[in-house]
Chain A
Amino acid sequence: MKGADVFYGDAQAVWDVSLYVDEGTIVALLGANGAGKTTLLKTISGIIHPKKGEILFSKRSLAHLRPQEVVDIGISHVPEGRRLFSQLTVLDNLRLGAYPPRARSRFAQSLERAYSLFPVLEARTGQKAGSLSGGEQQMLAIARALMAHPDLLMLDEPSLGLSPIFVRTIFELIKTLNNQKVTILLVEQNIHQALKIAHQAYVLKTGKITMNGSGDELLANQEIQKAYIGERWRNT
């Protein structure tokens, strides 16, 4: 499996963006609110279609597929704000995660794996998803996406609104998953943590890529440091 290329020129939100994600790596996509990060993810997962450009995954073009087909190819998207089915139980949410044919046969195993990664979900399996705490919901959202056995997992701001402990947990989780051969495309506002674990990173500003490099390179970068200090300041 080769990595994914994303070229795109869309007059609306994103201009001529080229993004490469190599197999087995963690790629971080950073930028302020409204920069277009979510739009990019939505384009890959098929909710939006690019006006121009191509999206390739293992040499297959994604540009005109519908979301349900994209999932079946092996790309799972955990949307911003989690978007769980709050009226359905934890178990139901997980069952739906394994909806695509490629995952259905492995449902039992996937469920086991989900429970072992997130014991709290097993404990709350019969509860309505809406009744879980923020951190638990995020775990459920990720677990649900994992049920589809994705090769590429896209996470949109997983740490949003979570307490620092949970944030650390989430990032450790991301690393663990990566170790288990899941490629990760991570959109984040939490610059520091994201860059620490990322192999590659891109910075998006009002729809255009302004910087890219390895995680360490960017960590050392002046501008990033300024933004990071601002963030640390805000977090204290």
Chain B
Amino acid sequence: MLEYLTFGLVLQLLVNGILFGTMYGIAAIGLSLIYGTMRIIFLAHGAIIVFFAYICYWLFTLLHIDPYLSLILVIPASLLLGSGFYAGLFKEAAALEDKNISLLIAVGLMYLVEQLMLVVWKANPRSISTIYTAIVFRPLGINIPFTRLIALVMAVLSAFGVLFFLKKTLIGTAVRAASEDMESATLMGINPHWVNVVAFAIGIGLGGIAGVGLATVYSFDPGYGFIFAIKALIALAFGGMGNVFGALLGGILLGLLESLSSFFIGAGWADAITYGVFLLVLTFRPQGLFGGST
């Protein structure tokens, strides 16, 4: 096999990794926001992302709305859904000392959404094909599918957007403050529920974007949600909480890891290796490779 190893091949692997990794990245940013304020690991995120992928799919299949255009619908819907989830499910639990309750609610939600999708939309994988899904750019002999590139662009834009929100707006600053020290934040007059709702809504909003990205890039089925959630969490662990670009980079790192280990060691083992690295990072550098506040 090594004789086929050319620079071009390695580059292709790297590019693949980066392109796909950004999707884990967007998901990770959402998770980071939710964890930062509410200190819960929102396990249902993957299922929600797949849910939005389905929405995108159906908007396309039934209403012929272009996936990228559907963002106009998906983003507000996801923000609303996020607020709804918070208000309905997590509000009281977030105030409790025992975070396990919120964790279990998230687990329940994950199970619920996944099973719901399974029942309603069945288990066969779906994917979207439009005129442009087949376009592939080939700079320097490397394949860069158009949709993946757009997904990358979306991810980076979202990251910038979130960063802008966090740094420049008052509410965003409040979110950062609350992530660091919720009690002190309340002493400033910041209402914890507001901060939580905003963080949660944006988190889910990012999930919506990731869902659209997923729909255009990959084929998916209800079961994928669980796997995706775990990977997003791994990406977050790599990048470290509290750091928007860290999360994105964590996702890219994960993508690279998967891409390379899939090729060199074998598709099935990639997951095991990923988990191994994950364990290592958690053990030796729990604050993530890119630091940020713990």
Contact = CB atoms under 8 A, between A and B. Distances in A.
A67 B187 contact: yes
Contact of A86 (B174, B180, B191, B192): B180
A99 to B, nearest CB: 5
Interface in B164-221: 170, 173-174, 176-177, 180-181, 183-192
Nearest to B180: A85
A144 interface: yes
B186 A66 contact: yes
B177 A45 contact: no
B111 to A, nearest CB: 34
Considering residues A68, A72, A79, which has the most beta carbons from chain B within 10 angstroms of its beta carbon? A68
A103 B192 CA distance: 18
Interface stretch (A90-98, A109-117, A164-172): A90-98
B190 A87 contact: no
A226 interface: no
Chain B interface helix/strand/loop/mixed: helix
A74 B248 CA distance: 41
B293 interface: yes
A123 B174 CA distance: 23
Contact of B189 (A47, A68, A83, A92): A68
B242 interface: yes
Contacts of A67: 183, 186-187, 189
Nearest to A67: B186
Nearest to A75: B187
A71 interface: yes
A85 B191 CA distance: 16
21 contacts: A45-B187, A47-B186, A67-B183, A67-B189, A68-B186, A68-B188, A68-B189, A68-B191, A68-B192, A71-B187, A76-B187, A79-B183, A83-B184, A85-B177, A85-B180, A88-B180, A95-B173, A96-B170, A96-B174, A99-B190, A148-B188
Interface of A: 45-47, 66-68, 71-72, 76-77, 79, 83-88, 92, 95-97, 99-100, 103, 144, 148
Closest 8 CB pairs of A and B: A100-B189, A71-B189, A67-B186, A83-B184, A99-B189, A85-B177, A68-B191, A68-B189
